Structure 1
Amino acid sequence: MQVAFLLRFVVGVVSAAQLPHSLARPALGMVSLWCAVACAYLLNGVADVHEDRANGSQRPIARGDLPERTAANATVLLACAALLLAGLTGPGTVAWTAAFLVLGWAYSADPVKAKCSSGRCAVVVFGLGATAYGAGVSASGSGWTATGVLVAGVMSAWMALVGAVVKDLGDVTGDAAGGRRTVAVVHGARAARALAVAGALAVGTAAPALALLWAPTALVVAVPVALGAAWVVVRVVRAARHAHADRLRRRGAYRAFMVTQYVANLSAMLGLGLAPTLV
C-alpha cells in the first residue's frame, strides 16, 4: 500500500503544469506522505485486527509481531511528522496531507468507520487517492493540468469503484465477523461481483473516452486501465465459477486490480515525466 501511494504522489509531481527545478520540495513532500500513509496503515491494522485474524491475514499486527499499543502510539508520531514535513514543503501540501490523515482516520475509526460500508468506503478511498495526487501537484510548486486532473480522477475512481469492491470478495468471512455491512456481506458474493464488474467496465471505458476528448496525454494511464478492467472482469467471472474456492483464488480480481494500478501509475510516471523533454 505504501508504495502505491508514493507512486501516486510522484505521478502528481510529473503531471503538474511545470516540473520542479529542484527535488528538495518533492522529496520532503514524499516523506511527509509516506508518514501519513504509514499512520493510516497502522491505524487500520489496529482497527482491523479481529477481522484480519479471521481472514488469516499476514499483516504484522494480526500476526502478533507488532503489539497493538505500540502501533497505536506510532500513529500519533507519524501524523505529527507528516504535518511537520508537509509544513516545510508549503501550505498546499499541508492541506492535502491533513486531508489524507483525516480520511485515513475516517476509513478505520469511529464515528465514520467507512470500512464498514461499501458506499462510505468508496467515497473515502476516492478521497485518499485524490489527496495523494494533490499532494504531489502541490509539492511540485506548480498547478494542475487537464491531464493531471484526469489521471488523478481516473485512478482514484479505479480505487473506489473497483479496488474497494473486489477486496471484499476475498474478505467476506472476516468482514462478517467484524460486523461490517459491505455489499458482499449484506447482499452476497453474487451482488458484489456484479458491482465489481460494473465498476471495472465503467472506469475502463470512461478513461480512454475522456482522455481522447479532453487530454490525449492521459492515454498513458487510460490504456492500461482499460486493459486492466478487462482482466478484472475475467477474474471475477472465473471466481464465480468456483463458489467455494479458497481465499487465494477469491482474491484473484484484487490482484488484477493491484497490478493494473501499479502499471498505470508507472506508465504515467514515465510517460508524463518524459513528455516535457520530448516537446
Structure 2
Amino acid sequence: MRADRSVAPWRVPVLCLRESRPSVLVVFALRFGAGAALGAAGSWPSGALLGICSWTLAVFFVYLFNGVTDVVEDRANGSSRPIAGGLLRPGTAARVAGGAAVLALCLGVLAGPLFAVLVAALLVLGHAYSAPPLLLKSRPSTSVAVAVSAALLTYAAGFVAAGGRLTEVTGTPLPQMALIMAAWMGLVGAPAKDLPDALGDAAAGRRSFLTAYGLARTRILLIAAPASLAIAAGLVSVAEPLLAGMAICLSAGAVLLAGLAVKVGVGSRAPYRVFMATQYIAHVAVLLSVLWA
C-alpha cells in the first residue's frame, strides 16, 4: 500500500507522533521522571528541562525508526498506525526520525557530557534493535536485553539530569526500583507483546517467545515473571518505604496477568494492556511517594 500523496505537510509531524506510539513515550517520560525525582536534591537544575526534551526526542527516534522497519509485521498484524495504513511514507518517517536523533543529541550535549553519552547510547541501541546488521529485535534474548537496557538508561538519564551524582546513587532507592521495573519491561512486556503480534512476527521471520518456546511456556512466563517481580518489590519496600506503592501496583498487576494468562490465546492484547497499565500506575506511585516524602 502506498502512502497518500494528498497528506498535507503539517500532518506529517502528527502522523509521525502517532507512529512513535504516544503511550510508550509517556511510559518513558514516567521512567525519566521517577529517576529524576530520586536524583533531585531539593531543587531542579536547568539541565533537567533540556534533559527531558532530549530524552523524549531520542525515544521518539527509536520508536519511529522501528515503525519504518516494521512495515511487514505491522501490516500482517492489521496495525492502524500511519505507515502500515499507508498514510505516512517510510522514507518521510525515516527523515523525521533522523532529524529527531540529531536534535536529541544536540540538546543532550547542552544538558551535560554524561547525559549526552546516555542519549547516544540509547540512539545506538534503538538503531541496533531495528536495523541490520545486528537486528536485535529478531531474537527473544536480544529483544529482552534491549528492553531492559533502554529502561535502565532512562532511569539513569533522569537521575543525572536532575543533578544526581552516580557516586551517590546507592544511597537512594533508584537501583532497586530501576532493576525491578526494567525487568518488568523485559520479562513481562516482551511475552505480553508477542501474543497480539504473533502473525506479524511469523510473516517477518522473527523468533518471538511464542515461536521459540510455544504458547504454554509463554503463559507460564506471564505468570511466573510478574509474580516474582511483585515479591521482589515487596521485599525491597520493607527497607525502602518509597517503593511500597510500586510493590502494591506490581502485585495487583501480577494477579491480573496470572488470571489472563491461563485463558488467553494468540492474538489477545489483554495481557499487554495490563502490563502497560501496571507500568503507568507503578511509576506514578513512586512519583507521588517522593513528593509526599
TM (normalized to structure 2)? 0.87
Equivalent in the alignment of 2:7: none
Number of residue pairs matched by the alignment: 266
**Identity level (%):** 38
Task: Give the alignment partner of residue 52 of structure 1, picking from 69, 74, 80.
Answer: 74
Distance 2:38 2:32 in 1: 10
Aligned-pair distance for 1:106?
2.1
Contact 1:12 1:148 in 2 (8 A): yes
Structure 1's consecutive aligned runs of 4 or more residues displaced over 6 angstroms after TM superposition are none
Letter in 1 for 2:176: L
Distance 1:19 1:129 in 2: 24
Distance 1:19 1:227 in 2: 32
Contact 1:125 1:156 in 2 (8 A): yes
C-alpha deviations, 1:94-139, integer Å up to 9, x for none?
1211111122112211222222111111111001111111110000
Equivalent in the alignment of 1:192: 218
Could you tell which deviates more after superposition, 150-159 or 198-207? 198-207
Change (3 A) 1:112 1:198: farther
Distance 2:68 2:123 in 1: 16
Aligned-pair distance for 1:17?
5.6
Task: Give the alignment partner of residue 40 of structure 1, picking from 62, 69, 74.
Answer: 62
Could you tell which deviates more after superposition, 116-125 or 229-238? 229-238
C-alpha deviations, 1:8-51, integer Å up to 9, x for none?
111111011614344x3211101001110110011100111100
Equivalences for residues 23-172 of structure 1 within 5 A: 24-143=46-165, 144=169, 145-172=171-198
- The SS at the match of 1:56 is coil
Equivalences for residues 202-213 of structure 1 within 5 A: 202-212=228-238
Aligned-residue Cα RMSD (Å) equals 1.5
TM (normalized to structure 1)? 0.91
**Which sections of structure 1, spanning at least 5 residues, go unmatched?**
none
**Which sections of structure 2, spanning at least 5 residues, go unmatched?**
1-23
Task: Give the alignment partner of residue 256 of structure 2, picking from 202, 214, 231.
Answer: 231
Contact 1:55 1:174 in 2 (8 A): yes
Distance 1:20 1:96 in 2: 22
Distance 2:212 2:164 in 1: 45
Aligned-pair distance for 1:146?
3.1
Equivalent in the alignment of 2:26: 3
Contact 1:13 1:19 in 2 (8 A): no
Aligned-pair distance for 1:259?
0.3
Distance 2:144 2:43 in 1: 32
